[in-house]
Structure 1
Amino acid sequence: MLVNFLVAGTQKGGTSALDAYLREHPQICMANRKEVHFFDNEAAFANGAANYKTYHAAFSPTKDHTTIGESTPIYMYWEPAPRRIWEYNPDMKIILTLRNPIDRAYSHWNMETARGKECVSFKSAIIHENERSREVLPNQHRVYSYTDRGFYSYQLKRLWHYFSKENTLILRHEELKTSPNHTLRKVTDFLGLAPLPTVHPKEVHRIDYQSVMSQEERELLFSIFQNEIAEIERLLDWDCTNWRAI
């Protein structure tokens, strides 16, 4: 059986909690670890078609499992990933959780700082992001992409080029955090599965910030994302008033 759903983003948008909740469903086989990183693995696709046996080795389904999935948040962001996913399974169902891109960027920077991969201030990291993000794919850096990952509209349109909107479920990070049972019912309905029993809110991979974002930093990020927030409201028919709070 092919892997038939992915939690594909966004990073720091609650994907770890969602992955943990889905592991409690008796019909779902999640990957042996979170973040398989198959469809964003450039080496795996260097010679064309990848070896899917390597991918399938990351799963251990049993006779009770009717659905197989995994959670790798970078799939939403990584430019070649949607096409690779479509070539593997054109019927793939894709789940995305979107977070206020301003808060997402700060959470991302805090995570990389805690890991020791970031050594400059948040403001400096934002101002110099483009010049620091030169890799094989222009401006797609796995560490320094603090603002670039927050331009969700481009990532959604890229996914919708290969998959119908009916094959994507887009959730709000805030709702997953405050109303997990309501949000998880959307997920199980989307996957065609029985609802999960009542769950208690989970906080997974929570990192305590050493400081709060300054007003100056928040205003800088709002100037970067103001038009993007408006586009997300248009695309998804969402009210993102709380994303504009500065």
Structure 2
Amino acid sequence: MNKKIPDFFIIGAAKSGTTSLYEYLKQHPQIYFPERKEPHFFGNMKPGGEHVNNINEYLKMFEDAPDNTVIGEASTSYLYSSDAANKIKKFNNNAKIIVMLRNPVDRAYSMYRHQVRNGSENLSFEEGLKAEESRILKGWKYGFHYFAGGKYSWQIENYFDFFGDNNVKVFLFEDFKENPYATLFDIFNFLNVEHEVKINTEKVHNVSNKPKSKKLNYLLNQKNLLKELLKKIIPEFHRKRLKKYLITKNMSDHYDKMSEKTRNHLINEYKEEINYLEKLLDRDLSLWKR
């Protein structure tokens, strides 16, 4: 009996709508995703927190996939990793790759807000950008690579080199946000599954808004004695549901906006990168330059 493995991978970029895409695609009866969105099994760019290291544990995630379904996996660390493409290619030579890119300025700030939401970042966005280079040299996780994570061209070229243009499909977050059904339709074509399927796209997932209570946010996201005690009395499934519920309730409906000065600075810093990416993708990215 052949092992069930992913037919396609959503590889990032982080904070570019991949969680919403994952949740929407899960609704398709011919597409199977495991409940765990991001195992981060492949590649050298492991994030903080838990990830799957054992091949048997990884394959176990897909055991329940019904026959004749297209199996997917979604880990945003794979795009930014220097060796994940090679490892995925060796694992499944025929894999299809889905990439979602976002204006790198907005992505950088969203990644920063994500770290604030998780109680991992105490610096201002501007201070975090200044500290980024030294943090990277010290081995900080890729979630703190606010600016570097938006240098998409080498990341995309890496996957083109291993999988070819026909097996790598690049989408823009801005298009997805404006018309999710158009993006989903293209993906259904790419994966060769039924198009006429009703998908509920009303909910936006994994939004990095500002926590109402920093203390509660810290308790929910960082290691502490209370969480260790709860592990002994509450099953993992219920702990995760409770944590998700409390995090959602603790989020405000707004966040502090980036300053215009910082935005203009970053647009200028990314200008050459965006120009190159336009040629690489044969796409107009003028929206990202303002």
Q: 1:2 Cα deviation (Å)?
A: 2.3
1:66 matches 2:69: yes
2:287 counterpart letter in structure 1: N
Q: 1:51 Cα deviation (Å)?
A: 4.9
Question: Which segment is superposed worse, 185-194 or 60-69?
Answer: 60-69
Q: Distance between the aligned counterparts of 2:274 and 2:25, measured in 1?
A: 29
Tell me if structure 1 keeps the 8 A contact 2:10–2:97: yes
- Cα deviations across residues 57-83 of structure 1 (Å, max 9, x unaligned)? 122434344211111111100112111
Look up the match of 1:239: 284
Look up the match of 1:46: none
Q: Distance between the aligned counterparts of 1:53 and 1:92, measured in 2?
A: 19
Q: 1:234 Cα deviation (Å)?
A: 0.8
Look up the match of 1:174: 174
1:24–1:231: structure 2 CA closer, same or farther, 3 Å change rule? Answer: same
More helix by share: 2
Q: 1:179 Cα deviation (Å)?
A: 0.7
Q: Distance between the aligned counterparts of 1:7 and 1:130, measured in 2?
A: 27
Q: Distance between the aligned counterparts of 1:23 and 1:60, measured in 2?
A: 16
User: What SS does structure 1 have at the residue aligned with 2:11?
Assistant: strand
Look up the match of 1:97: 100
**1:85-234, aligned counterparts within 5 Å?**
85-134=88-137, 141-201=141-201, 202-208=203-209, 209-234=254-279
Tell me if structure 2 keeps the 8 A contact 1:61–1:68: no
- Cα deviations across residues 38-61 of structure 1 (Å, max 9, x unaligned)? 113689xxxxxx853221112243
- Identical-residue share of aligned pairs (%): 33
1:238 counterpart letter in structure 2: R
Q: CA RMSD in A?
A: 1.9
Say which of 11, 14, 17 aligns to 1:14. 17
1:120–1:55: structure 2 CA closer, same or farther, 3 Å change rule? Answer: same
Q: 1:220 Cα deviation (Å)?
A: 1.7
> Taking structure 2 as the reference length, what is the TM-score of the superposition?
0.77
Q: 1:191 Cα deviation (Å)?
A: 0.6
Q: Distance between the aligned counterparts of 2:184 and 2:138, measured in 1?
A: 36
1:196–1:130: structure 2 CA closer, same or farther, 3 Å change rule? Answer: farther
> Taking structure 1 as the reference length, what is the TM-score of the superposition?
0.90
Q: Distance between the aligned counterparts of 2:138 and 2:143, measured in 1?
A: 11
Tell me if structure 1 keeps the 8 A contact 2:44–2:82: no
Look up the match of 1:23: 26
1:176 counterpart letter in structure 2: F
Give the gaps of 5 or more residues in structure 1. Answer: 44-49
User: What SS does structure 2 have at the residue aligned with 1:9?
Assistant: coil
User: Larger C-alpha radius of gyration, 1 or 2?
Assistant: 2
1:171 counterpart letter in structure 2: F
User: Number of residue pairs matched?
Assistant: 236
Q: 1:18 Cα deviation (Å)?
A: 0.4
Tell me if structure 1 keeps the 8 A contact 2:98–2:170: yes
Q: Distance between the aligned counterparts of 1:222 and 1:63, measured in 2?
A: 46
Q: Distance between the aligned counterparts of 1:42 and 1:182, measured in 2?
A: 31
Q: Distance between the aligned counterparts of 2:63 and 2:5, measured in 1?
A: 12
Tell me if structure 2 keeps the 8 A contact 1:31–1:60: no
Q: Distance between the aligned counterparts of 1:102 and 1:42, measured in 2?
A: 21
- Cα deviations across residues 181-200 of structure 1 (Å, max 9, x unaligned)? 11101001001111152334
User: What SS does structure 2 have at the residue aligned with 1:182?
Assistant: helix
Runs of 4+ in 1 over 6 A off after TM superposition: none
Tell me if structure 1 keeps the 8 A contact 2:19–2:205: yes
Tell me if structure 2 keeps the 8 A contact 1:27–1:66: yes
1:97–1:42: structure 2 CA closer, same or farther, 3 Å change rule? Answer: closer
Give the gaps of 5 or more residues in structure 2. Answer: 47-52, 210-253
Look up the match of 1:84: 87
